[in-house]
Structure 1
Amino acid sequence: MLTHELRTRKECEDFVRGCTIMGTGGGGNPTQGLDKLTRALDEGLKIGWTDAKQIPDDVWVVCPFLMGSIAPKTPTGLAKMKDLGLTEVRYPNTIMAAIQELEIYTGKKIGAVIPGELGGSNTPEPVAQAARLSIPCIDGDYAGRAIPEITQMTPVLFNKPLAPLTSVDEWGNITIVKAAINEPMAERIGKFLAVAAHGLTGMAGVLLSGKECKEVLVAGTLSLCQKLGQTVKEARNRGIDVPIATAEAMAGWIIFKGKVTAKEWEDRVGYYWGTHTLTGIEEFSGQTFKVWFKNENHISWLNNKPFVMSPDLVCMVDRETGEPKTNDAVAEGDIMAVLGAQAPKPFLTQPKGLEVLGPRHFGFDYPFVPIQKLIG
């Protein structure tokens, strides 16, 4: 039933690379995502995805995802974890456990999986777990990029429920959220469970029929990630400018090139917040670029003026190799190219789109100006 299969480690690497690019600085740790895929491959499982059109309307589709901050652990945080007894990993596969707990609680047989977003681990994880469950993973997701809050998933734009939700952390704490009074409370509850666990939790929810799923997803995004990852590799092999080739493959633009000269960050209420400052190189020499992130990149400034912002994509890659970096991995001294691309359509066409992922949602009183108008 797979319409695309990942048969080798190299193909898995390409896929994870593309997912990380589309993760806009967040979306989870790509090393962990690759590990999940290659372990499944080594076990002889068939991993890949299936065109949404092949999914029956009457199957139950689950959305598994990781919840929490990717910020580095601090000595204070590690000490608190020890005091709480969070030292022995009991559930190395929290995503799988969350799916199983949701199936048990609802009594509904799950027939397909769809990622909640694109990112280095938050997309490969559902792909790998679908293979373990011997059910299809749909070629699509519920964001078309990475997002910091489940309130920003496309089902929310179409008034679909997020709950019931299940949460499992690696230490063995299991929680069932039977209901939430609204989407922000579902997000808040999930995040505080991750904060309590001092890390990421595996969650599962947004249980929809195949018909409903196909009405709200962003289609074809897993295939796009595979294409982007291959583009980076092939551009390097051919000796051509990798960021330019990548921008073309994602129908985007290079919006800046520069050296990271400052980074400020904090880990707060389950999110990784901060700002990168870049000083321009090449055609951007003499200019400055800043990008503010809440897990993912959301608001940028070119020469201190508001520039590309969510829901449009702001993606940072190594200037020479084209390898993407998550925000926790970006460091002062890095030489980066910044790519920009248009927002997934639901965020521009649905009434709630800009409300949940536009600049004002993040506390910035800026009008959203589409990237094509800024660049064009």
Structure 2
Amino acid sequence: MKLENRQQVEDFVRGCTFFGTGGGGLPENGIDSLMAALNDGHEIGWVDAESIPDDAMSVCPFLMGSIAPHTEDTIKEMSSYGMTDETSVNPERDRMSKAIGELEEYTKQKFDVIVPIELAGANASAAIAAGAQRGMVTVDGDYTGRAIPEIVQITYNYDGHKLAPIASVDEWGNVCIIKNAINPRTTEHLGKLISVAGYGLAGQAGMALEASKMKKTVIKNTLSESYEAGKLLREAKEAGKDFVQELMTFLGGYVIGRGVIVEKDDRDTDGYYWGTYTVDCGEEELKVWFKNENHVLWKNGSPYITSPDLICAIDTDTGEPVPNPSSYEGQNVAIVALACKDEQKNSTLLTPRYFGFDIDHVPIDSVIKER
């Protein structure tokens, strides 16, 4: 499929933002990435996995780091290191593109195919744009089927493939190579620490893999699904329909509650954006905990829905999915949830216990049936 105009770009980014479950960067940055590539004359879109030759080489570019807004104190500290608006040289798409180039130079390997690491408004879009800039095709799929805070939580890692080497290029032009790491979680930690030094999202590229193996690991057709979901959400709102319910019917998900955000607590620590927000739904209260993405939902004080299933917020005034950095007290939202992809269902790396909670994950379909 090709994205040929701004509306198609916005529909795609909207769908990716929804599947991003609150994380994965800001949709406006994703739109900027794709529109810049489109305006430069590049072809934007994706191809079916089976159309890619088995001997092609794939690479996974991604944004690594915290999605938290910068505070005034952080901006002052950044300035002391010479990191200001005036010294910013790499928008998100360029960080990824340059990271691919750095990895090609380090590995002496030419890459042909882009595999997005996750579905997210900024992350997936910038990956596609970076590939388009370099004349590469993007596969219709990703390694997660949602967005995630750590690169260990992807099918590529589940299948035993080595994450490193990874090249990193940040907004300011700092370049690093993670040559090797003792295990996948250390690879994640090193990547996050590099991003912390740049005060935001670094563009990184790694997970090189022959297409014959990539086809067995990628979760297929998720980019097309994201486009269709984003388009449906817009069209349902334009038609005056209950766009929240329309989307859940289309995806087989559930509307958990509708209300207003009455409290939000957040912090930017260790390269992640952490926090909670509480939604007053009248007779019910919902509370969401996030680490970049939403991972635990409590209903009236009791654990209800958890990762790896998807917990998402939709602004009921605008009809747009809500990234966590953009949520605010007083915002009218619907909290919805749906089952994760089959490839995530047996993961122990995306459950509440992995995040330190004494909570067992119960699949959402079982939770709703018991209600």
Secondary structure at 1:5's aligned position in 2?
A: coil
Q: 1:35 offset after TM fit, Å?
A: 0.5
Structure 1 SS opposite 2:82: coil
Identify which of 27, 32, 36 aligns with 2:24: 27
The gaps in structure 1 that reach 5 residues or longer are none
Report the alpha carbon displacement of residue 219 of structure 1 after superposing the two structures with TM.
Answer: 0.8
After superposition, give the CA deviation of every residue in 1:64-85 in whole Å (9 maximum; x if it has no partner).
Answer: 0001111111122111111112
CA distance in 1, matches of 2:23, 2:166: 22
Structure 2 match to 1:84: 81
Residue 43 of structure 1: CA displacement? 1.5
Kept after mapping to 2: 8 A contact 1:242/1:320: no
Q: Is the 8 A contact 1:142 1:153 kept in 2?
A: yes
- How far does the alpha carbon of each residue in 1:57-104 deviate from its partner, in whole angstroms, 9 at most, with x for none? 111100000011111111221111111122312333111110000011
Larger displacement relative to structure 2 (316-325 or 225-234): 316-325
Instruction: Report what 2:187 is aligned to.
Output: 186
What is aligned with 2:202? 201
* Residues 241-264 of structure 1 deviation map (CA, whole Å, 9 limit, x = unaligned): 010011122221111111100000
What is the rounded CA distance, in whole Å, between the counterparts of 2:155 and 2:63 in structure 1?
17
| Residue correspondence of structure 1 range 86-105 to structure 2 within 5 A | 86-87=83-84, 88-92=87-91, 93-105=94-106
Say if 2:280 is the partner of 1:279. yes
- One-letter amino acid of the structure 2 residue matched with residue 257 of structure 1: R
8 Å CA contact 1:263, 1:276 repeated in 2 = yes
Q: Structure 2: any 5+ residue segments left out of the alignment?
A: none
The aligned residue for residue 38 of structure 1 is: 35
* Matched letter for residue 315 of structure 1: C
CA distance in 2: counterparts of 1:219 and 1:70, whole angstroms: 26
**Higher alpha-carbon deviation: 340-349 or 84-93:** 84-93
Q: TM-score, normalised by structure 2?
A: 0.97
Q: Does 1:371 align with 2:370?
A: no
Cα offset for 1:135?
Answer: 1.5
For residue 162 of structure 2, what is the aligned residue in structure 1? 161
Tell me what 1:359 maps to: 352
Provide the C-alpha distance between the structure 1 equivalents of 2:53 and 2:252, rounded to a whole number of angstroms: 31
CA distance in 1, matches of 2:318, 2:239: 12
Q: How does 1:49-128 map to 2 (within 5 A)?
A: 49-87=46-84, 88-92=87-91, 93-128=94-129
Which deviates more, 287-296 or 235-244? 235-244
CA distance in 2, matches of 1:173, 1:271: 20
The question of whether the paired residues in 2 share the 8 Å contact of 1:290 and 1:302 is answered with yes
Query: Letter of the aligned partner of 1:361 in structure 2?
Result: Y
CA–CA distance in 1 between the matches of 2:345 and 2:121?
25
1:89 is matched by which residue type in structure 2?
A: S
